[in-house]
Amino acid sequence: MKKTALFIFVGCMISSLVFGQTIYQWKDEKGNINFTDDITNVPEKYRDQVQERKAPKEPAPPAPAATIKGSDADRRRPPPPEPAERKDTIGRGEDWWRGRAKEWNDKLTDAQKNYDTTHATWKAKEKELADSVFKADYIKRNLRLEIKDLEEKTKEWERKRNEAKNMVEKVIPKEAEEYRADPEWIQVR
């Protein structure tokens, strides 16, 4: 049994290597099946029982997806699975990382815009106070209160801007590296 399987395997190997050639097959007195591509290699006493086979000139193309007849309708084989989405070491994908980077970039943009506006208003009020030498004291007091409020708001927007900048430039890239996320995932488009 093992010899027969070996000979069949060898025969398949030979036929796969010699496309377009004739293969000769015969069975010897022990019942073993033999193959060759040269008729002169077949012993004289077995030449009358040799079976000739033509090897295909080229490998056959793969068969199309088979249709399986069902009771109600034809069912096709399922398509091959799509490649798995790449993930970081704890299972977060590109969408998660892009969302996180976008969130902090939006916060940075917003904080910078508000900082610039508040700072410009603060400086304008300071100039207005400096120019109000001959104005009433209550106007000067109101301007000082507005300036103090604008100064606090400017410092708060500066703090938010620095926090967002730190997240965008240092924290998120470090986390992406630590969790082996693709560095392109954190780039803002």
pLDDT of residue 7: 59
How many angstroms separate the CA atoms of 176 and 106, rounded? 19
Statement: residue 69 has pLDDT above 90: no
Statement: residue 155 has pLDDT above 90: yes
User: Do the strands 67-69 and 51-54 form a parallel or antiparallel pair, or are they unpaired?
Assistant: unpaired
pTM metric for this prediction: 0.54
Least confident residue range of 48-52, 77-81, 114-118, 168-172: 77-81
Lookup result for tokens 């207005």? 128
Mean pLDDT estimate for the chain: 82
pLDDT of residue 39: 82
How many angstroms separate the CA atoms of 100 and 86, rounded? 17
